[in-house]
Amino acid sequence: MLRRLIGHLVVDASEARLGAALAALREDGDRLNLNLLGEAVLGEREARRRLEGTRSLLERPDVDYVSIKVSSVVSQLSMWAFEEEVDRVVERLTPLYQTAASSPEPTFINLDMEEYRDLDLTVTVFRRLLEQPGMLQLEAGIVLQAYLPDSLRVLHELTEWATERRARGGAPIKVRVVKGANLAMERVDAALHDWPLATVGSKAETDTNYKRLLDRALRPEHTDAVRIGVAGHNLFDLAWAWLTANDRGVAEAVDIEMLLGMATGQARAVREDVGRLLLYTPVVHPHEFDVAISYLIRRLEENASPENFLSAVFELDDEEVLQRELGRFRSSLDALDDEAPGSRRTQDRLREWSSGSGRQLVQEHARAGERAQDPAAAGLTQAVLGLSRGSGAAAATTGFRNEPDTDPALPGNRRWARLIIERIAGSTIGTSTADAARVSTEAQLQEVLRTVSDRAERWGERLGYDRAAVLDRAGLALAANRDRLIEVMASETGKTIAEADPEVSEAIDFAHYYATRARELDVVGGATFVPERLTVVAPPWNFPVAIPAGSILAALAAGSGVVVKPAPQARRCAAVLVEALWDAGVPQELLALVDLDEDELGRALISDPLVDRVLLTGSFETASLFRSWRPDLALQAETSGKNAIVVTPHADYDLAVADIVRSAFGHAGQKCSAASLVILVGSVARSKRFRAQLVDAVTSLRVGYPDDPTSVMGPLIEEPTGKLLHALTALGGGESWLVEPRRLDESGRLWSPGVRDGVTEDSYVHLTEFFGPVLGIMHAATLEDAIRMQNGTDYGLTAGLHSLHPDELALWIDSVEAGNLYINRGITGAIVRRQPFGGWKRSSVGGGAKAGGPNHLIGLGSWKPSPARSSSTLHLRGLDDRARQFIEAAQSSLRFEQFDLLRRSALSDQLAWATEFGVVTDISKVGVERNLFRYLRVPVALRLADGGDLGELLRVIAAGLLTRSRMDISTSVPLPPQVRQMLSGDELAEMAGLVPRIVVETDAHWLERAAAGRITANRIRIIGDIVSDRVDGYTGAEPSSQPTEQQAVVRRSADTAGSFTDVVAGVTRGSTGAPVPLQRADGSRVPLATALAEAIGGALDTVIYADPVTPAGRVELLPFLREQAISITNHRFGTPIDLSDDVV
């Protein structure tokens, strides 16, 4: 069916059919330019096959003209290795050109091009090929795209070169001028990388530049050396070019070129005027007809776009349409005398920090750093009523923009990168700072901690707005040190420049993004942020700049001092990073670098009472070790991952393979987000094409050290041992090597990547994180089975799906258990704000607020209620029915100030829900990629501590009701009967299993239940706990150690309050059997959160929230919700699609 539909656009390349098809197409005297289509070139096997197929065409007696692209004859091109890639392509293409040069009949090769990134490479290869011995008399051609403003410069350079070649007795060259057919993918490339669009800004500008190129080329002084192919279907443009060529006497040097099968009637008319045409003729073998889809989509886009002439070609007998196209043509002619556009891509890392551009960057960030505003500043009721009336309340506009990565398509950037590469092998930067940070004794460590803690007090007292200014300067300092940061990463940890450069961009993004969030900490209505004094940052070696930068900058933004203890393998990286931050104005007394023996002083650092919080990125086992030292440690950690990509029969196999390989083997698989497994659903597991493409792509990866610019996959951080060595060398039962990994050097750090097939569910390979270049393949009969396998590990960091079926997307999104979901794209490379990063299950410890997301800073300190003016009104306008019913049920049991807190809190909750927590947002609005951020409810256990305030408990219950989270409520006093009735009488809640379980008990009994594992929720919200001394100004009273009247009614109310067991004594047993005291030796109360942490042994799966209750929905809703980021490719070959619009 497909072949019949597209047979007039694409020719069958089979031996039995091709000859007859070519003969038929030549009946009108036309010449044919054949372009062999094929599978996506993901590896060297397909590249060589494509080249051999083109050579076979060229050797046919009925073929005298072929087109070929650089990107189709070599795989995995890297512009960082520009000179080496030129050599590789020239070596690959030389035999083809020699075939043409030695042919007894004139045979022509046209070097085609699609992407802007290939422009310099294609031109350089073209010239290098024709400068080789024996090629002087070969006439060959190259394509230039008019929508690239750079093409005018390239035409000038080619003309000068070809004129000199002609003067030496050489043959002319030919330039095929096209308008450009890859605009959609150029837009994708620009949007994803935050680069300017490489093409001119409009179709009208393209039309003008097309004529500008032809005007420059169609001159007698040029056409002897450079023949011109005028390619297109716009009849006005073709007529203008042909008349211009005739007027100037150069018509013999011009070919009029059109696409096979497009507007055949118009082609016939053109042929009658100009003689024969040159038809661009795609050919494809029958078993690969589906690969012509991308070519056809571009053709259909040309037909469909109202800006393109082809969309009107069949309506030119309509006078209105004719005049419209004539007007467009005349406008493009009128603009010919305008100044020609320059290159749109002007990034130059060698020059960007000249004095002028540096000042501009500072000014841009100064403009972006305006004070944040509380969205409810004009009044909560009015804000909520505005929402209910449909006026909306937009999220705060931050002015944040992601930092662009370095564009390797630009020659200045490539020269800059070469200078870095030349320094890698002998680099020692950061050594002196790292050595100076050595701490050898506990006394030295104590001095560092005291210094930072003391300095942090003044830092935390500053407004978030003021701290943000320092962070913005830090971002500029990181940008200015991009080359040094790349150099040290490559030198110390083996990162290739392609991996290291985006990491610096991420660090810069963290600085500016957290600056915006720091400003917003100042304006959370109803709550005041209280910074921690001292945060310890314990980063990994695999992202030795971005992760420590993110943690350091987040802590600084949140008002804390920082002590950073880098991984031993990345000491110098951390040193260069903190040097840049110090240079930006972060005081050394506020940010300290320490290098210490982990075995001897690591425990002393983590356990020190001066340390308020630890930000860890490492293994789950390391997090467990930290908590074993200090059960009540405020620990936030991004830990392990065992990540899988599911591929269904509805996937684009070529796209899936490319994304799998990048996700599995980037940085040699040493990423917590890396794809460790691919799960093939149904027929995909039996697909020979899928397996062949996967093997081709994996075996073509060039492995080497970063001082070799051709390296695509870098080294391991150290020689593998343990789990990773086992994964690289041993197979489990039923497994086999699809690609067997090999050790490549004596150091043991260079390994070729491996792919093992036959991995079974619940096997060692299925469940174990290896952190290296090994990919396991699993087979699943159905998507449901695949999801079960994907969810079947202890971790939930990243997860991927490749499918083009919306029903499969819907099922997968609703079922998969991971913090970051990726659809039809790779699963690594999360970008700040665009894809906030953090996992579920054992991939995360702490509150789960994602790095680079809107809530990350909120959890890095404490919150207290801010003074608020009580309202004299009792109205509940603007609230939804459930919230209103709950408040009405509670009203008679509350004092006015308690009622007012509950009412104001409900309004704040509803505003936060409507603008943030209850909506799915795509704040980045990339367009070609949907980056969605949403919140999903989680069960929460509530505990009203002995002596706590009932009104505060009701306030927190109201937040849980809004989110519809399941709540288990433990309270030291009974709930009012009307409240219990309202909670238990909600039919919808009962149907959903959300009716709260209510227990009235003492703190001691509750702790006993916790120690016995009888509190099942992983999130626990304690109300009425003792607050930290730093939560200065909190007006809540410290709970009394003496029984209160509220506690005295516990026994009397047991029967009416729900399930209840006997009150126990004032101590309970911890998870180890040791008693957990509720009082210290001096008679002071132990905070309930501390006692709970002891009781459960510092369990990593449990998150304890114990801050004072506030009326701020922005704060109080968070314990009931967990975050999820979903990134979905939203185009096919650049054309927007609505695949997921009705799914999420």
pLDDT digits (tens, 9 = 90+) for 605-645: 999 999 999 999 999 999 999 999 999 999 999 999 999 99
Band (215; pLDDT cuts 50, 70, 90): very high
* Coil, strand or helix at 291: helix
Q: What are the start-end ranges of the H helices in 640-687?
A: 653-665
Band (149; pLDDT cuts 50, 70, 90): very high
Whether the per-residue pLDDT at 375 is higher than 80: the answer is no
If you search the block for the tokens 């305008």, which residue do you land on?
338
pLDDT at 1054: 32
pLDDT at 463: 97
Q: How much is the CA Rg of the chain, to the nearest whole Å?
A: 33
**Identity (one letter) of the amino acid at 1067?**
V
30 neighbors 271 (Cβ within 8 angstroms): yes
| DSSP state for residue 917 in the 8-state scheme | I
**Identity (one letter) of the amino acid at 135?**
M
Burial class (CB in 10 A: 0-12, 13-18, 19+), 821: buried
Report residue 199 as tokens. Answer: 């093409």
Distances (CA, A) of 350 to 359, 406, 499: 16, 11, 20
Report residue 918 as tokens. Answer: 């209850």
pLDDT digits (tens, 9 = 90+) for 380-425: 555 654 544 333 333 444 589 999 999 999 999 999 999 999 999 9
pLDDT at 1059: 28
| % residues pLDDT > 70 (the chain) | 89
Q: How many CB atoms within 10 Å of residue 951?
A: 20
Please give the CATH architecture assigned to the domain spanning 887-1124.
3-Layer(aba) Sandwich (3.40)
pLDDT at 5: 58
| DSSP state for residue 455 in the 8-state scheme | H
**Identity (one letter) of the amino acid at 919?**
V
- Contacting residues for 514 by C-beta, under 8 A, at least 6 apart: 471, 553, 554, 556, 557, 856, 857
Is 573 assigned a catalytic role? no
Options 672, 929, 1008, 1123, the catalytic residue: 672
Average pLDDT over residues 460-475: 98
**Identity (one letter) of the amino acid at 587?**
P
State the virtual CA torsion across 1020, 1026, 1032, 1035 in degrees, nearest 10. 100
Burial class (CB in 10 A: 0-12, 13-18, 19+), 1104: buried
If you search the block for the tokens 């706590």, which residue do you land on?
948
147 neighbors 231 (Cβ within 8 angstroms): no
Options 325, 352, 638, 1094, the catalytic residue: 638
Report residue 910 as tokens. Answer: 């509803």
State the virtual CA torsion across 238, 242, 245, 250 in degrees, nearest 10. 110
Rounded Cα–Cα distance for residues 1100 and 606 (Å): 16
> What is the Cβ-side half-sphere exposure of residue 984, based on CA atoms within 13 angstroms?
13
Burial class (CB in 10 A: 0-12, 13-18, 19+), 548: buried
Burial class (CB in 10 A: 0-12, 13-18, 19+), 587: middle
Average pLDDT, the chain: 91
Among 607, 596, 694, residue whose Cα is nearest residue 645: 694
> What is the Cβ-side half-sphere exposure of residue 680, based on CA atoms within 13 angstroms?
23
pLDDT digits (tens, 9 = 90+) for 262-312: 888 899 999 999 999 999 999 999 888 877 776 777 666 666 677 788 777
Domains 2-337 and 355-377+408-638 are alike in CATH topology:
no
Average pLDDT over residues 667-671: 98
Residue 1034 CA, distance from chain mean position:
40
The CATH class, in words, for 643-841 is alpha beta
Report residue 846 as tokens. Answer: 């702490």
Band (316; pLDDT cuts 50, 70, 90): confident
Whether the per-residue pLDDT at 2 is higher than 60: the answer is no
229 neighbors 141 (Cβ within 8 angstroms): yes
Whether the per-residue pLDDT at 368 is higher than 50: the answer is no
Residue 944 has phi, psi (to 5 degrees) of -90, 115
| DSSP state for residue 560 in the 8-state scheme | -
Whether the per-residue pLDDT at 173 is higher than 70: the answer is yes
Residue 377 CA, distance from chain mean position:
34
pLDDT at 292: 78
929 neighbors 1129 (Cβ within 8 angstroms): yes
Q: How many CB atoms within 10 Å of residue 562?
A: 26
Order the strands of the 754-757 sheet from edge to edge.
736-739, 754-757, 774-780, 675-681, 643-647, 798-802, 820-823, 1121-1129, 929-937
- Contacting residues for 247 by C-beta, under 8 A, at least 6 apart: none
pLDDT at 1047: 37
Is 114 assigned a catalytic role? no
pLDDT at 3: 60
If you search the block for the tokens 């949007």, which residue do you land on?
191
pLDDT at 264: 87
State the virtual CA torsion across 331, 336, 339, 342 in degrees, nearest 10. 90
Whether the per-residue pLDDT at 886 is higher than 80: the answer is yes
pLDDT digits (tens, 9 = 90+) for 30-86: 999 999 999 899 999 999 999 999 999 999 999 999 999 999 999 999 999 999 999
| DSSP state for residue 2 in the 8-state scheme | H
pLDDT digits (tens, 9 = 90+) for 1041-1082: 344 333 333 333 333 333 222 223 334 444 444 555 677 777
Whether the per-residue pLDDT at 799 is higher than 90: the answer is yes
Residue 1010 has phi, psi (to 5 degrees) of -60, -45
To which H or E segment does residue 1067 belong?
Answer: strand 1067-1069
Among 480, 489, 670, residue whose Cα is nearest residue 572: 489
Report residue 618 as tokens. Answer: 């490492």
pLDDT at 393: 37
pLDDT at 391: 37
CATH 3.20.20.220 fits 2-337, yes or no: yes
The full set of domain ranges for the chain reads 2-337, 355-377+408-638, 643-841, 887-1124
pLDDT at 181: 87
| % residues pLDDT > 90 (the chain) | 82
CATH of domain 355-377+408-638: 3.40.605.10
pLDDT digits (tens, 9 = 90+) for 581-612: 999 999 999 999 999 999 889 999 999 999 99
pLDDT at 249: 98
Pairing of strands 798-802, 643-647: parallel
